[in-house]
């Protein structure tokens, strides 16, 4: 993937304007350090910063159809590009790049081709035949994209805020699953899956169907002409991605080019839960494993860079982005350009610990729908921008369109957490890969309790940045917070600290409106806080804020038996809550 910038309908076609657009495009160079391109047609400019993953030799952008009447700048990966080429027998392609199909599909089908794409993408199509344009973003918002409007009537499109925020009178997040056409001048949703209506499904759970759908999602993401690996925290999601990748890597084109030995990567403070679990999974799978340790001070020193790159002041996102940002730099230094990651599973299966308190299957399902729809504001943004800060691409098989359709069609009663039956969070996913004949993972890893990434890298990380923020934000500052920041007012010193840094980089009102807000408990939506009255007094996005659920909850801090190899499914059903709300392992 890459970084894109488009200026459409600009009133200035001077050399000075071209130089300015090149300057703005260079702000996205970290996303695509391999090549730069700019094409001007009349009052339209399409710029591109390329990270070459497929066809590095000839896939430079912008891309064109055969007659060069249709021009495209794309940030994405189209996994079914070979099948799509077969549907276009009369078209001559200029490159073997997966994104080359977009211009030809538009030429053949017009604006209605977007749903044919299986992949992740943000793109701009310029049709010089009538000077019209089309902009689209992938279904869930794995790729980042923004849209802005200039005083001269121009429309600006960029992969990141920093590409357009200084030039636009107003700008906003381009909504995922939508397209924007110059002919209609409004957003239209092209992604319309059955689950989007939030109607409760009733299909029976079939573990093999779910397993095979996920395996297909992983396999299609092994499309690469450059070295790649898997981010492996040792939690369920990343471990399954690594396990499936290791199982099927040998038969891929990538293995023939770069070898069938999978590389895995993990980050954490010294002694962190993720480092231990990740190493154990890597040993089990036989991967070439790379561990990166960081200190709390390393993370604190990186926070300004993290906020600049992620373009957010959301507390959860910054907590988790910082170790991912540090790890991505190390990974890129090894010559790796693409990684697979485990984002999306918790949203689809109700994996966050607060789902233990879901009152019924209807509310459980509706919350998963809300979480998936909001991913582009949180985990997708983190995975995309904290890796692309160093020219590293992250692919997320759990957010495959076909896999989501299968997983979200399961009767949510099957996903519900039932301690008395030994069913912990994400039970349906764990059960789908619980194969005694040919195990995918060690059983205690398969049933390891959920750790949010910012917790799993070491509990001291969150505690350390809270302490750091407390030294720089006074009580008097917090008293005036609603006057200084009337929109999305920080409710903690940590949040205030991040907000000050963000405002320095992105002072425009439009910028702060792109960042989500609202109360949260253990990464819940605001609606789910209603599930437990005590949560409103303990608002914090860490999983340890799920009092009475997490084995290392803030008010408990007991030693978990998980580290001793005891299966969490044996622990959680025995967890009781005292009258004081303290979790007791019995």
Q: What is the 3-state secondary structure (H, E, C) of 247-282?
A: HHHHHCHHHHHHCCCCEEEEEECCCCHHHHHHHHHH
Write phi, then psi, for 291 (nearest 5 degrees). Answer: -105, 135
Range of the domain at 308: 200-454
First-to-last alpha carbon distance for the chain, in angstroms, is 49
Q: What is the dihedral of CA 356, 358, 360, 363, to 10 degrees?
A: -140
In a domain, 344, yes or no: yes
Give the model's pLDDT for residue 481.
97
- Measured over the CA atoms of residue 299, residue 300, residue 301 and residue 306, the dihedral's sign is positive
* Helical ranges in 60-190 per DSSP H: 81-86, 101-109
Q: Which residues contact 139 (CB under 8 A, 6 or more apart)?
A: 176, 177, 191, 193, 401
Write phi, then psi, for 155 (nearest 5 degrees). Answer: -110, 130
DSSP calls for 504-516: HH--SHHHHTTS-
The domain tally of the chain equals 2
Closest CA to 24 of 55, 60, 49, 59: 49
Please confirm, yes or no, whether 2 is among the known catalytic residues.
yes
97 φ/ψ sector (left φ>0, alpha ψ -120 to 50, else beta): beta
Orientation angle between helical segments 379-388 and 296-310, nearest 10 degrees: 100
- Tens place of pLDDT per residue across the chain (586 aa): 689 999 999 988 899 999 999 999 999 999 999 899 999 999 999 999 988 888 787 768 899 999 999 999 999 999 999 999 999 999 999 888 899 999 999 999 999 999 999 999 999 999 999 999 999 999 999 999 999 999 999 999 999 999 999 999 999 999 999 999 999 999 999 999 999 999 999 999 999 999 999 999 999 999 998 899 999 999 999 999 999 999 999 988 888 888 889 999 999 999 998 899 999 999 999 999 999 999 999 999 999 999 999 999 999 999 999 999 999 999 999 999 999 999 999 999 999 989 999 999 999 999 999 999 999 999 999 999 999 999 999 999 999 999 999 999 999 999 999 988 989 999 999 999 999 999 999 998 898 776 655 566 877 999 999 999 999 999 999 999 999 999 999 999 999 999 999 999 999 999 999 999 988 887 888 888 889 888 877 776 555 555 556 555 544 443 333 333 333 333 333 333 332 332 322 2
> Are residues 205 and 147 part of one domain?
no
- Number of Cβ within 10 Å of residue 584's Cβ equals 12
CATH code of 12's domain: 3.60.20.10
> Are residues 182 and 207 part of one domain?
no
Query: In whole angstroms, what is the distance from residue 267 CA to residue 543 CA?
Result: 18
> Are residues 122 and 90 part of one domain?
yes
- Which of residues 173, 192, 211 is at a domain's end? 192
- Number of Cβ within 10 Å of residue 150's Cβ equals 20
Query: In whole angstroms, what is the distance from residue 188 CA to residue 196 CA?
Result: 15
Write phi, then psi, for 163 (nearest 5 degrees). Answer: -80, -20
Query: Binding site for ATP, residues?
Result: 231, 267, 341-342
> Are residues 211 and 181 part of one domain?
no
Give the Cα-Cα-Cα angle 535, 356, 429 (nearest 5 degrees): 140
3-state secondary structure of 4: strand
Beta bridge partners of 124: 73, 135
> Are residues 134 and 214 part of one domain?
no
Query: In whole angstroms, what is the distance from residue 574 CA to residue 585 CA?
Result: 6
The one catalytic residue in 2, 97, 168, 523 is 2
In a domain, 89, yes or no: yes
CATH code of 361's domain: 3.40.50.620
Give the model's pLDDT for residue 577.
30
In a domain, 243, yes or no: yes
3-state secondary structure of 178: strand
Query: In whole angstroms, what is the distance from residue 119 CA to residue 478 CA?
Result: 44
Query: Binding site, residues?
Result: 98, 231, 267, 341-342
> Would you say 242 and 281 are in contact if contact means Cβ atoms under 8 Å apart?
yes
In a domain, 299, yes or no: yes
> Are residues 221 and 133 part of one domain?
no
Beta strands in 294-434 (DSSP E): 338-340, 393-395
> Are residues 447 and 345 part of one domain?
yes
In a domain, 491, yes or no: no
Query: Binding site for L-glutamine, residues?
Result: 98
- Which of residues 454, 477, 507 is at a domain's end? 454
> Are residues 343 and 221 part of one domain?
yes
In a domain, 538, yes or no: no
- Which of residues 426, 454, 482 is at a domain's end? 454
In a domain, 519, yes or no: no
> Are residues 93 and 179 part of one domain?
yes
Write phi, then psi, for 211 (nearest 5 degrees). Answer: -60, -50
In a domain, 473, yes or no: no
> Are residues 411 and 287 part of one domain?
yes
> Are residues 260 and 185 part of one domain?
no
> Are residues 215 and 174 part of one domain?
no
């Amino acid at each position: 993937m890459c970084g894109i910038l488009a200026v459409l309908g600009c009133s200035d076609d001077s050399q000075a304007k071209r130089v300015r657009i090149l300057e703005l495009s260079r702000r996205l160079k970290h996303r695509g350090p391999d090549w730069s391109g700019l094409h001007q047609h009349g009052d339209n400019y399409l710029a591109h910063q390329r990270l070459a993953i497929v066809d590095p030799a000839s896939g430079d952008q912008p891309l064109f159809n055969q007659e060069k009447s249709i021009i495209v700048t794309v940030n994405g990966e189209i996994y079914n590009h070979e099948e799509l080429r077969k549907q276009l027998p009369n078209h001559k392609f200029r490159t073997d790049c997966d994104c080359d199909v977009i211009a030809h599909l538009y030429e053949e089908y017009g604006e209605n081709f977007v749903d044919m794409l299986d992949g992740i993408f943000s793109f701009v199509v310029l049709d010089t035949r009538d000077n019209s344009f089309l902009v689209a973003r992938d279904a869930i918002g794995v790729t980042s994209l923004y849209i802005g409007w200039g005083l001269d009537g121009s429309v600006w499109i960029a992969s990141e805020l920093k590409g357009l925020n200084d030039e636009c009178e107003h700008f906003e997040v381009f909504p995922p699953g939508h397209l924007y056409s110059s002919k209609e001048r409004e957003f239209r949703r092209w992604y319309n899956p059955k689950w989007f209506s939030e109607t409760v499904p009733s299909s029976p759970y079939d573990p093999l169907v779910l397993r095979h759908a996920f395996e297909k999602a992983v396999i299609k993401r092994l499309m690469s002409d450059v070295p790649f690996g898997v981010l492996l925290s040792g939690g369920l999601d990343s471990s399954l991605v690594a396990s499936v990748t290791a199982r099927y890597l040998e038969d891929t084109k990538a293995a023939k080019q770069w070898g069938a030995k999978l590389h895995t990567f993990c980050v954490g403070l010294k002694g962190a839960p993720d480092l231990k679990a990740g190493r154990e999974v890597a040993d089990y799978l036989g991967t070439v494993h790379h561990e990166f340790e960081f200190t709390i001070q390393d993370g604190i020193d990186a926070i300004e860079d993290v906020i600049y790159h992620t373009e957010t002041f959301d507390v959860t996102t910054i907590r988790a982005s910082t170790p991912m940002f540090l790890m991505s730099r190390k990974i890129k230094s090894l010559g790796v350009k693409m990684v697979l990651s485990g984002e999306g599973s918790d949203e689809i299966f109700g994996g966050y610990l607060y789902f233990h308190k879901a009152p019924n299957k209807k509310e459980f399902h509706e919350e998963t729908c809300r979480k998936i729809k909001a991913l582009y504001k949180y985990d997708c943004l983190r995975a995309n921008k904290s890796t692309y800060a160093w020219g590293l691409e992250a692919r997320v098989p759990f957010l495959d369109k076909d896999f989501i359709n299968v997983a979200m069609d399961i009767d949510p009663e099957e996903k519900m957490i039932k301690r008395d039956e030994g069913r912990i969070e994400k039970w349906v996913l764990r059960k789908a890969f619980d194969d005694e004949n040919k195990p995918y993972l060690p059983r205690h890893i398969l049933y390891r309790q959920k750790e949010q990434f910012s917790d799993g890298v070491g509990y001291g990380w969150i505690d350390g940045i809270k302490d750091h923020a407390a030294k720089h934000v006074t009580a008097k500052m917090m008293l005036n917070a609603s006057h200084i920041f009337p929109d999305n007012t920080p409710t903690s010193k940590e949040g205030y600290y991040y907000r000050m840094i963000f405002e320095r980089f992105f002072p425009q009102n439009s910028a702060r409106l792109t960042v989500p807000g609202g109360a949260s408990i253990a990464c819940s939506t605001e609606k789910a806080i209603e599930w437990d009255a005590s949560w409103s007094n303990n608002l914090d996005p860490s999983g340890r804020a799920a009092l009475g659920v997490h084995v290392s909850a803030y008010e408990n801090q007991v030693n978990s038996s998980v580290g001793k190899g005891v299966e969490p499914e044996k622990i959680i059903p025995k967890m009781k809550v005292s009258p004081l709300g303290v979790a007791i392992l019995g």
